[in-house]
A and B are shown apart, each in its own frame.
Chain A
């Protein structure tokens, strides 16, 4: 396990930031950590980095207790709302962090040049960070996290303020890091991006771990379909076990075949036979099929259900 957390608790005075979180993360995983502001994501990461001491519980990173120097040598961190010292240039800043990380001068220069090139910051070496755009700062923040080739990366909102092309580049970069065997933790509010990128996600609410699993599992297909026919469905049309609802902004209908629908984070896929029977019945009623699409539960559906406090799995 790259990260192993058991019954981790953190209290700030009377406030409970984390209340008994347990989590295991395997190597070479892109792990998404989701939750509302104040859910405890950043506290969890800070404990894993050794920046904050837990009130109770255990946490190990790469088999060592968190916070030891040997554990810290293996992690890269991009904090949320980071403020890179503005008096530095990209090269001087990477040189500082590289030296504090213990990298010899020649090596850190080589690494810095390589990373700046990889993150599209080459050619701006003389510009002070004061003159950087938000996206450039974000890229440089990523560069410093990757500088010492860590085995674990903790990234808080890594694509914040980056344009769409840049986001794609960053996603590719993270996928490449994973291919090299690096484990990446991502805190993000961009659920679409997490869904696209991450292998596994965990959702925190009020310091508790609500759900954890692979993205594929959590976004399984739902038992609903989107259909369109060549004309309006007559009011008299009925099919037992199916609910029909018009989808806004189009001629499509949502056909729900699962009576237990309503708990989107616990989808229960029906076999394909049900829709076949439905379409046959529609055909018999004189309706011709123009469009058929199976609906999926998105991470957003799941997230909203949990974050709203809608239900626990």
Chain B
């Protein structure tokens, strides 16, 4: 059958006949308009836009203000000079990993004074001292110090604008150097600087009186609003609205009017699915963009990592929608479609959480007696590494218990949607120079977003395929 024959012709026999054939784009566009109309009819769009506007309004009453604290970052920069940290990832590697890079010197700030103000934009005068073993290490020039000071891996905390060596010659000979210098804030200092975060004037304080690093605050805000609470609520609303689409379409008396058209049945279902998906993509786009704008306006941080939440949430929703479509085709009931979808979501969540416990028990068992991963960033801040403790006598690791085995077995056949969320988290942590054991764990290679994406799409296509098969074969 030639689907491209679009000629309008009148034939003999019956006057004024229209003989045309449906084309794929025309059918698709029509189903898309139909879905859009059905969605608008649910009146949810206006509520969602209102909710996002309220969120915007609330967020824009917020203020994020830096707190004094420059001295500690000068100290961190000085201490980090003890090793050559250029080009390594401070988040994943521990001090043990860089032992070979230690240069045998100890650096410290002996005096420091802000020139402008103790703020992330302010310059400082500081005195840097270096102690080294004379025969092993050689004296350093001001240029060498300028090249390394404030630079940790890819991050730039400080840059030296002026430097002058002040120590005496004999002190150099016994392994002690002193410089007076003027430093300006580097690119990444602001993200690590403690900021106070208040909402509605001064009435709500979100990060404690002393504040938290700006990057961490932005990260938590973006996670909460995009992939966390905000995204979850939006997905729930989307599940509720789209659950009605297929049952409404396959209702007796409505279905026949669609099935008599000269198009394959699967097109009706697949185009409805894609239409719903595009709609939700639009909603998620609005949310994610709003979150990006809100945090940008509030904190003047414009890293685009949060935009990754859009594809991540959308792929997850593609899976939920395929479950909803399949249930809708089988049961023809809106309530069933909604409940089964939410139940499926809950199963994924619970299985994912239990699987995390199993994975952690495996890692823990393998690392008993070894140092726990503590990132360099943490170490620089003074956290002491701890050793992994063994299991209590008679206790098996979770993955060896019956429930643990079942968990891993069930999880193996489920789509690994957690990994899509992890992808966003990892990007956010990189964007905002946030370090810690969580990031270390996440970057340790125990998750693969490619696998998560592949398995999720595979499941979605399988459910949709089954739905199409049932839909095409069943008598209306």
Report whether B260 and A51 are in contact in the complex, using a CB–CB cutoff of 8 Å.
Answer: yes
B20: chain A residues within 8 A (beta carbon): 73, 101-104, 107, 148
| Minimum Cβ distance to chain B for residue A188 (Å) | 17
| A181 with B26, Cβ < 8 A, contacts A52-B475, A75-B260, A101-B20 known | no
Residue of A whose beta carbon sits closest to that of B16:
A149
Q: A47 — nearest CB in chain B belongs to which residue?
A: B475
A20 interface residue, CB < 8 Å from B?
Answer: no
Q: A99: CB under 8 A from chain B?
A: yes
**Cβ of B34 under 8 Å from chain A:** yes
Q: Which residues of B contact A83 (CB under 8 A)?
A: 251-254
State in angstroms the CA–CA spacing of A100 and B248 once bound together.
18
Per-residue CB proximity of A99-115 to B under 8 Å, as 1/0?
11111100100010000
Contact count band on A: 35 or more
Query: Which residues between 226 and 263 of chain B lie within 8 Å of chain A, taking CB atoms?
Result: 248, 251-254, 256-263
Interface residues of A in 100-132 (CB under 8 A from B): 100-104, 107, 111, 128
Contact A51 B30, CB 8 Å, known A87-B38, A102-B21: no
Nearest-Cβ distance from residue B14 to partner chain A, whole angstroms: 4
Q: Give the distance in Å from the alpha carbon of A181 to the alpha carbon of B17 in the complex.
A: 10
Given contacts A99-B26, A100-B30, A104-B20, contact A84 B262 (CB under 8 A): no
Residue of A whose beta carbon sits closest to that of B8:
A107
B266 → chain A closest CB, angstroms? 14
Q: Is B116 an interface residue (CB 8 A)?
A: no
Q: A53-B475, A81-B253, A82-B253 are in contact. Are A72 and B261 (CB under 8 A)?
A: yes
- The chain B residue with its CB closest to the CB of A111 is B18
A111 surroundings in chain B (CB, below 8 A): 18
- Given A70-B1, A88-B37, verify A148-B18 contact (CB < 8 Å): yes
CB distance from A255 to the nearest CB of B (A): 48
Residues of A within 8 A of B15 (CB): 180-181
- How far, in whole Å, are A82 and B263 apart by their CA atoms in the complex? 20
* B141 interface contact, C-beta 8 A: no
Per-residue contact bits, chain B 252-279, to A (CB 8 Å; 1 contact, 0 not): 1110111111110000000000000000
When distances are taken between beta carbons in the complex, the residues of chain A under 8 Å from B259 are 51
Which residue from A70, A100, A104 sits with its C-beta under 8 Å from B6?
A104
- B52 CB → nearest A CB, Å: 24
Contact of A151 among B17, B27, B41, B260 (CB under 8 A): B17
Asked if A79 is at the interface (CB within 8 A of a chain B CB), the reply is yes
Q: How far is the CA of A256 from the CA of B476 in the complex (A)?
A: 50
Tell me the dominant secondary structure on chain A's binding face: loop
The verdict on B13 contacting chain A, using a C-beta distance below 8 Å, is yes
- Report the bound CA distance from A80 to B37 in whole Å: 25
Chain B interface category by residue count: 35 or more
Q: Which residue in chain B gives the minimum CB-CB distance to A43? A: B475
How far is A128 from B38 in the complex, measured between Cα atoms in Å? Answer: 11
Could you tell me the distance between the alpha carbons of A278 and B23 in the complex, rounded to whole angstroms? 72
Interface assignment of B19: CB less than 8 Å from any CB of chain A: yes
Contact of B257 among A79, A87, A107 (CB under 8 A): A79
Contact, CB under 8 Å: A96 / B34: yes
Contacts of A180 in B (CB 8 A): 14-16
- A229 interface residue per 8 A CB criterion: no
Give 1 or 0 for each of B262-304: 1 = CB within 8 Å of chain A CB: 1100000000000000000000000000000000000000000
Q: Which residues of B contact A100 (CB under 8 A)?
A: 22, 27, 30-31, 258, 261, 263
Partner of A72, one of B260, B475, B476: B260
Q: Which residue of A73, A81, A96, A128 is within 8 Å of B252 (Cβ)?
A: A81
A225 contacts B by Cβ under 8 Å: no
B29 within 8 A of A: yes
Cβ of A159 < 8 Å from any Cβ of B?
A: no
Q: Do B262 and A97 touch across chains, with their CB atoms under 8 A apart? A: no
Given contacts A52-B475, A180-B15, contact A95 B30 (CB under 8 A): yes
Q: How far is the CB of B269 from chain A (nearest CB, A)?
A: 13
Cross-chain contact B14 with A85 (CB below 8 angstroms): no
Q: B261 to A149, Cβ gap below 8 A?
A: no
B265 to chain A, nearest CB (A): 10
Q: Is A65 an interface residue (CB 8 A)?
A: no
Instruction: Choose from A85, A87, A99 the contact partner of B30 (Cβ within 8 Å).
Output: A99
Smallest CB gap from A181: residue in B: B14
| Most A Cβ at <10 Å: residue of B27, B30, B31, B263 | B30
Cβ contacts A to B, 13 pairs, < 8 Å: A77-B256, A85-B34, A85-B38, A101-B20, A102-B22, A102-B26, A102-B262, A104-B20, A128-B41, A149-B16, A149-B17, A151-B14, A151-B17
13 other A-B residue contacts (CB within 8 Å) besides A83-B252, A92-B33, A96-B33: A73-B21, A75-B260, A77-B256, A81-B253, A83-B254, A87-B37, A88-B34, A100-B258, A102-B21, A107-B8, A111-B18, A144-B257, A149-B16
Which residues of B pack against A, CB within 8 Å?
A: 1, 6, 8, 13-23, 26-27, 29-31, 33-34, 37-38, 40-41, 248, 251-254, 256-263, 475-476
> 4 closest Cβ contacts across the A-B interface?
A99-B30, A87-B41, A102-B22, A83-B253
Interface of A with B (CB < 8 Å)? 27, 46, 49-53, 69-70, 72-73, 75, 77, 79-88, 92, 95-97, 99-104, 107, 111, 128, 144, 148-149, 151, 180-182
